[in-house]
Structure 1
Amino acid sequence: MSGTTHATIRAAGLGDVEHILAEYRQAVAELPLEESANLLWRPYDEFKTAVENGLFFVIENAVGSFMAGAGVFDLPGSAEKELGMCYVKKEWRGYGLQVLLLQIRVCAATLGQVPDKSEDDTITKSFAALITGVKPANEHSAANTEQLGFEYLLTPPPALFNACASCRTPPAPGSERRCCCDFFYLSDARRAETIEKSLQMENWSRTRNGHELIVALKIRHLLDADFRNALHEIVQELRAMLLLTLPGSPSGNGQVCA
């Protein structure tokens, strides 16, 4: 395949719900189990809530055909957010769309998070952690998360295991694994870098085997001036928090919060 394909990434709306679910159901039906299991489904209510909150994103071509999708999900009883349900159709793999979806979701998930401050306006708490799960056999996804700076999470929040009850590929008996996924989090330093890079993007362009894919960013938090200013301020806050944790700083102890 040669030439150029134009596509768009945008937040899904309620009118997209059934179409998106149909794409995921088709993937489950047609892909081998070991591959379709990487989709990491969410209950319908969680998926719909992500859509309602503007936190599920789709990439589609010029005629509206689904190419990829992924969402941000709140963890019950926890401040952390999970980046999950990522699916890139087979013919569009290799263009970096998973990385693009990660970048977009990092920005969207971070907006609105306000660190706690003490009475003297000193920052005392980090932004809520952003976590993603990857099956150990899914080497491409693991490489993409590491490329963006995600680090292995040694002690995942208990809420991450709620979906295990409906997992189609649970750990083998005797494997000593609690979950079929490994979990990774994004440090404050790499979150700031990711947001800053996203703010610098005008569109997403990658070439594979002589074919160019250009993705227009129809994302409100990257187009609206107020949202962009808020993201710039968040980057400054993240870096201020990092300075406070450096050895020798007034309240630093050398530890960087997740």
Structure 2
Amino acid sequence: MTITHATIRAAGPADVEHILAEYREAVRNLPPEESANLLWRPYQEFRGAVENGLFFVIENASGDFMAGAGVFDFADPGEKELGMCYVKQAWRGYGLQALLLRVRVCAATLGQVQDKGAGKHAATDYAALITGVKPANAHSAANTSELGFQPLATPSPALFMACAFCRTPPAPDSGRNCCCDFFALADAGRRQVIEKTLQMENWSRTRNGHQLIVALKVRHLLDLDFRTTLQDVVDELRGDELRLEAEPVGGIMEMKSDGEARGRT
């Protein structure tokens, strides 16, 4: 068995042109049906993700690009989009898209946790984490569904802003506003993704007698304070799940002084 060692890390400003060159090459050289799945972003959004430490690359020991993806902010802090995922053809089948999704969920969540000064049990409304997938891209749709993303019935207008830069817009008579279907990560999915990612020491997959081992060189997963904060998020979301499970249908049950239960809607 042959083994390739790789690293996932946050991209820096010095990586911008190299990453863009990889994406441009993919658009030029991939078959049209494959390059159509590479969803481009405006340059300023891409650079903003890099500067915010929210664009991640996977590269081999020689520094060659293998895959990349980012988290993109909107004017509304209540939403973030996970997008611009690209895995080079030679490295497909090793679960790198799923790894990039996991890392981005953790990083995006860390960017919106409550201030510790607000109290340990203060509620946090986490921004919705949304991703767009072309209907024909069954593999990506399966990856997002497996991690707990659910169809988003009413996408916000901000999600359509990038459509102006789309290379494969829907046909005028298709009845679609966008060539993508949108999915949002449910709270239970967020909790499970973060919890399982915190347990990972590396990412290892084997395909056709070849093993790929990806070292996690991501500060969001290595820094002790960040890990503690992510574990706090897991505990909070699990507590929310348990409270919801304990609530009877129709309202929260209270006990009157005589022991009779009554509902509060």
* TM-score normalised by structure 2 residue count: 0.89
Contact 1:67 1:92 in 2 (8 A): yes
Q: 1:102 to 1:252 in 2, by over 3 A?
A: farther
Residues in 1 aligned to 2:19 and 2:132: alpha-carbon distance in whole angstroms:
21
Residues in 2 aligned to 1:139 and 1:49: alpha-carbon distance in whole angstroms:
29
Residues in 1 aligned to 2:13 and 2:120: alpha-carbon distance in whole angstroms:
40
Listed as ranges, the gaps of 5+ residues in structure 2 are: 253-265
Q: What residue in structure 1 maps to residue 247 of structure 2?
A: 248
**Structure 1 residue 76, shift from structure 2 partner:** 2.4
**Structure 1 residue 123, shift from structure 2 partner:** 5.3
Q: What residue in structure 1 maps to residue 126 of structure 2?
A: 127
Listed as ranges, the gaps of 5+ residues in structure 1 are: 254-258
Structure 1 ranges of 4+ moved more than 4 A: 119-125
Q: Specify the structure having the higher radius of gyration (Cα).
A: 2
Residue 179 of structure 2 aligns to which amino acid in structure 1? C
Matched, 1:18 2:39: no
Residues in 2 aligned to 1:168 and 1:4: alpha-carbon distance in whole angstroms:
37
Q: What residue in structure 2 maps to residue 148 of structure 1?
A: 147
**Structure 1 residue 252, shift from structure 2 partner:** 6.3
Residue 39 of structure 2 aligns to which amino acid in structure 1? L
**Structure 1 residue 126, shift from structure 2 partner:** 3.1
**Structure 1 residue 124, shift from structure 2 partner:** 5.5
What percent of counterpart residues are identical? Answer: 71
Contact 1:123 1:241 in 2 (8 A): no
Q: 1:158 to 1:8 in 2, by over 3 A?
A: same
**Structure 1 residue 9, shift from structure 2 partner:** 0.3
Matched, 1:232 2:231: yes
Matched, 1:84 2:106: no
Q: What residue in structure 1 maps to residue 177 of structure 2?
A: 178
Q: 1:125 to 1:204 in 2, by over 3 A?
A: closer
Q: 1:173 to 1:195 in 2, by over 3 A?
A: same
Q: CA RMSD in A?
A: 2.2
Q: Deviations over 1:152-197 (max 9, x none)?
A: 1111111000011121111112111111000111111110010010
Contact 1:107 1:195 in 2 (8 A): yes
Greater Cα shift, 169-178 or 128-137: 169-178
Q: What residue in structure 2 maps to residue 139 of structure 1?
A: 138
Equivalent residue of 1:54, what SS?
A: coil
**Structure 1 residue 114, shift from structure 2 partner:** 3.2
